[in-house]
Amino acid sequence: MVSRFGLSVALATPFDASGQIAILPMVTQARACLGAGCSSATLFGTTGEGASVGTAERRIVTEAMLAAGIPAHRLVAGVLVDAAEDAAEQARHALQCGVRNILLAPPSYFKNVGEDGLFGWFSAVFAALGPLARGILLYNIPSVTMVPLPLTLIGRLCAAFPGVIAGVKDSGGDWSYSEALLRAHGDMVILIGDERHLARSVRQGGQGAISGMANFVTGEIRAMAEDGRDDARVGSFVLELLRFSVIPAVKVMVARKTGDERWLTVRPPLEPIGSQGRQQVAAAYDRLFATEPA
């Protein structure tokens, strides 16, 4: 059995007035979440607007994290690109830095692709990485990519690339898929991205989570990811976040937690949430988390 993954915060990315990544508050947020009990911080995932962060910027941020004293084994790097060459380049630098895992999404520009095509794309990435290839977390998030990862594809990749695939992050929100994934591949790290299903998945053998909500309710998400403890407040707040564009809504909460309005900025094509929406998100949080867990 693999060692337990635990809770990784899907770190949001702050931008300054010129649109550049604000390194210091990002490092500070990573430290705060790790200090609050997260086992790692995931950089450049969906919550971190990873598809909008370029290769050169990734290098700068990763190296800044290391220079700030955050151990490489407590970092996960998201890779969310379409060209296998670009995916390998981004993963290569992170792996050379010693990160714990690579969170690798399938290519998403082409829709309705077959399993053989996806197998070929992942194979090309791993071939380009060569002996560096390790610790890959396949990322199932079809609501964003429109490219689901069939269980048979996961099995084929594991068989073809032994020791390369560490597990799967399932953010599909489909419990029947999650349950089948846990049954078929429970010997790997299975992480659930939809917090509404998190505690149940842990009780059925899941290894934890990569969670955007861990940016601002770290302790509550940790109890779900590590102990399988239900918290109705979390599920209710997920529904509140889904009333808005989720990434800007999460950043509203990080800005509120830190008192730093740079967190409100998102990169185009995303748009920030207006003042009325920000008030609604904050009011929902106060209403739910002013009470003890149900």
Q: Would you please indicate which residues are annotated as catalytic (active-site) residues?
A: 139, 169
Does residue 210 have a known ligand-binding role? yes
**116 vs 157: CA distance, rounded Å:** 11
**247 vs 264: CA distance, rounded Å:** 10
**48 vs 42: CA distance, rounded Å:** 8
Does residue 55 have a known ligand-binding role? no
DSSP three-state, residue 76: strand
DSSP type of residue 15? B
168 phi, psi to nearest 5 deg: -135, 135
Strands (E), the chain: 6-10, 40-43, 75-79, 101-104, 136-140, 165-170, 189-192, 208-211
In 3D space, the residue among 205, 210, 209 whose CA is nearest the CA of residue 180 turns out to be: 205
Annotated binding site for pyruvate: 47, 210
